[in-house]
Amino acid sequence: MTSPISSTPAIPETSATAVISAQPQSPPLETRASKTHRTRVTRRSAAALAVLTIGAMAGTGFVLEPAMAAQNDRVAASASLASGSGRHAEQLDAYSGIAAAHAEKAAAGTLAGATAVITAAQNKTDATELATPVAMLSNYEYLAPARIYELVDLTNAAVPPVQAATAEADRVAAEQAAAATAAAEAAAAQQAADAKAAADAKAAQSAQSAPKASTAPAPSAPANPSGAQAIARDMMAAKYGWGSDQFGCLVSLWDKESGWNVNAYNASSGATGIPQALPGSKMATAGADWQTNAATQISWGLGYISGSYGTPCAAWAKSESVGWY
């Protein structure tokens, strides 16, 4: 069969070329044969693709269509997110970095505060409930922002109980310290009171034992002493500078004690000699002949009065007060 196009009158080559260049060109008309050929090629390509798909499925056991569908879904979701928010991928990365920086800053601040609380709680209370999230949060550089904020919340929630327990421990310690201070002050006050009482008692005892000043006039000294009294008068004047007034007290004192008798002896007390030394052997410091020599006994007696009372009249006042000197 001859195509209808072949019956069209021939146009001279020069004329046809001029017409084509002068008028807009249109796409060439597709013949029935070429259309049929294209359809067959398309069908064969589709069949070949189907064969390849089936072969891949049979050879690997992996279904390609669901995987491609999932990949297409992810691509579509990313495109939708980008188009819906109006942000490009670079912007999303920048915002992600900012979020991570904020999370790390929150972690650092939380760690600083919590660490101070743990330090204050040492030796006061158990801070394990706080130390656990702090230990996990200390690696915040390797954590996602969501996990960082979760640990920040856990840490902040554990801080108040530890602070309260620490404050209570401080309060108890302060009370104990105050009680200890008060007890120490009370003990010191009691000790001071006891010391004062002892000093007062000693002073009272000393005052009681001290010779009382006699209101009576001092005894007068003999005008012409003889024997032992003469020795005593000369010795006390030369050695101690005592005058007749002190000599009168001495005469009265030893008159009362021994009657100026070298051999005087008190059987009930053991006092011996003119000054009534107790025991008599003390007078050996004045001389080896203390048992028989009046001068030796007087020398010892004057030394005892000077060292114990200061003057014979003070010794006499003591003797008058208590009966002995």
How many domains is the chain built from? 2
Establish if 15 belongs to a structural domain.
no
Establish if 266 belongs to a structural domain.
yes
My answer on whether 238 and 308 are in the same domain is: yes
Establish if 45 belongs to a structural domain.
no
Q: Across residues 305-319, what is the average pLDDT? A: 94
Q: Which of 144, 161, 179 is the last residue of a domain?
A: 179
Q: How far apart are CA 138 and CA 254, in angstroms?
A: 100
My answer on whether 241 and 314 are in the same domain is: yes
Q: Across residues 158-174, what is the average pLDDT? A: 95
The larger pLDDT score, comparing residue 21 to residue 200, is at 200
My answer on whether 169 and 241 are in the same domain is: no
Establish if 220 belongs to a structural domain.
no
Establish if 192 belongs to a structural domain.
no
Average pLDDT over the chain, rounded to whole? 77
My answer on whether 168 and 231 are in the same domain is: no
Establish if 69 belongs to a structural domain.
no
Ranges of H-type helices in the chain: 13-22, 32-60, 64-85, 89-121, 128-137, 145-209, 227-240, 244-257, 294-308, 312-322
pLDDT score of 93 more than 90: no
pLDDT score of 45 more than 50: no
pLDDT score of 171 more than 80: yes
pLDDT score of 196 more than 70: yes
Establish if 157 belongs to a structural domain.
yes
The larger pLDDT score, comparing residue 158 to residue 69, is at 158
SS3 291: coil
pLDDT for res 65: 41
| Overall pTM > 0.85 | no
pLDDT for res 46: 36
SS3 272: strand
Q: Across residues 67-88, what is the average pLDDT? A: 47
Q: Which domain holds residue 303?
A: 227-322
Establish if 27 belongs to a structural domain.
no
HSE, side-chain direction, 13 A CA sphere, residue 85: 12
Residue range 245-260, pLDDT digits in tens: 999 999 999 999 999 9
pLDDT score of 26 more than 60: no
My answer on whether 101 and 160 are in the same domain is: yes
